[in-house]
């Protein structure tokens, strides 16, 4: 009987506790739902509500001292920006044309000095031919070469048909030392026989005779096309023009000695005789067409017989 009573009390307590828990849950659920539904219309009402009208004050509000109207300040017009004045550039002074290079003066043969002749081949750049040609000009001693001025060096270089060679190979500097009895590296090699090009001698007759029929300029200002001659290229043609030889008939009338001189003056000894310049020039001067050897040059097939091409001739 007692145990039955205890069980009944326990069941009632458990039922009470469960009821409290379930009631609390239901209450939480229902209260949260109602609050959300109430908040939404409230927000909408606040959004749609019109601002309340503010009642106008019964009396005007006095704010400080009454301001008197002031006259507007006159507007000063802004002056337009002055155009920047660009200083006119002073006209450039007339540039005087540069004068043409001073023409090379012709070297006039001098009287050889007294005393024995020096071995000019001890100077680097002077071989038997150049020594003979210098001797023909009256240059036989080192002391003469040592005293050459810049103009004289140019003049002798032109006379030897080797412009610029004297300056380039420093003949005067070498001659200064040799005239004092000193030796240069080159002169030592010549003395020991190591320089074959400085051996032997050339007679004055090997130089030839300068032609007497040279001209200052071409007849009528139109030189003949000397490149039609076998062995004459652009460079040699220019050298012949510089020597006063412009026409075929000038070459055709040269003597053997004059042809020798021409070959030496051009720097190609023996070429005029070997390639029969005199005979070919005579034929071309008479109006004959170029020979088979010259036909390629006539039609421009040989580069060295056309303008703008160069080769060592």
Domain-wise residue ranges, the chain? 120-201, 219-305
Q: What is the DSSP letter of 79?
A: P
Residue 95's pLDDT is what?
A: 40
Q: What is the pLDDT of residue 96?
A: 42
Helices vs strands, H then E, count in the chain: 13, 0
The answer to whether 142 touches 120, Cβ cutoff 8 Å, is yes
For the chain of 313 residues, list the mean pLDDT of each consecutive stretch of 10.
81 87 83 56 52 54 56 59 49 43 69 93 91 89 96 88 88 97 93 76 66 92 95 92 94 92 82 95 87 50 47 42
pLDDT at residue 243 in the model: 87
Q: CA 73, 77, 78: angle at the middle one, nearest 5?
A: 125
Q: For residue 128, what are the CA distances in angstroms to 141, 144, 303?
A: 15, 18, 33
For residue 179, give the H/E element and its range.
helix 171-179
Q: Which of 242, 238, 240, 264 is nearest to 251 (CA)?
A: 240
CA atoms of 211 and 215, how far apart (whole Å)? 10
- From first CA to last CA, the distance across the chain in angstroms is 153
Q: Residue 46 has what pLDDT?
A: 53
- What are the Cα distances from residue 10, in Å, to 4, 14, 18, 20? 10, 6, 12, 15
DSSP single-letter state for residue 66: P
């Amino acid at each position: 009987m007692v145990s039955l009573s205890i069980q009944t009390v326990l069941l009632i307590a458990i039922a009470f506790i469960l009821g409290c828990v379930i009631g609390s849950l239901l209450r939480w659920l229902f209260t949260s739902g109602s609050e959300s539904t109430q908040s939404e219309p409230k927000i909408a009402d606040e959004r749609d509500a019109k601002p309340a009208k503010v009642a106008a004050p019964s009396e005007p509000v006095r704010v400080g001292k009454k301001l008197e109207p002031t006259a507007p300040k006159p507007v000063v017009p802004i002056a337009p920006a002055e155009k920047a004045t660009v200083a006119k550039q002073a006209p450039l002074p007339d540039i005087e044309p540069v004068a043409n290079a001073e023409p090379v003066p012709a070297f006039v043969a001098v009287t050889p000095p007294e005393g024995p002749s020096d071995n000019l081949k001890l100077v680097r750049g002077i071989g038997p031919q150049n020594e003979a040609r210098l001797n023909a000009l009256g240059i036989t001693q080192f002391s003469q070469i040592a005293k050459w001025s810049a103009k004289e060096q140019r003049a002798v270089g032109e006379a030897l048909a080797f412009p610029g060679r004297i300056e380039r190979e420093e003949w005067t500097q070498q001659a200064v030392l040799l005239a004092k009895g000193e030796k240069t590296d080159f002169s030592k090699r010549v003395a020991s026989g190591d320089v074959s090009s400085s051996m032997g001698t050339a007679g004055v007759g090997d130089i030839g005779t300068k032609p007497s029929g040279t001209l200052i300029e071409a007849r009528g200002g139109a030189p003949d096309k000397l490149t039609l001659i076998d062995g004459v290229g652009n460079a040699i043609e220019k050298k012949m023009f510089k020597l006063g030889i412009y026409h075929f008939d000038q070459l055709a009338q040269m003597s053997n000695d004059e042809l020798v001189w021409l070959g030496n003056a051009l720097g190609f000894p023996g070429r005029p005789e070997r390639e029969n310049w005199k005979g070919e020039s005579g034929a071309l001067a008479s109006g004959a067409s170029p020979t088979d050897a010259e036909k390629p040059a006539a039609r421009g097939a040989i580069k060295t017989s056309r303008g703008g091409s160069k080769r060592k001739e």
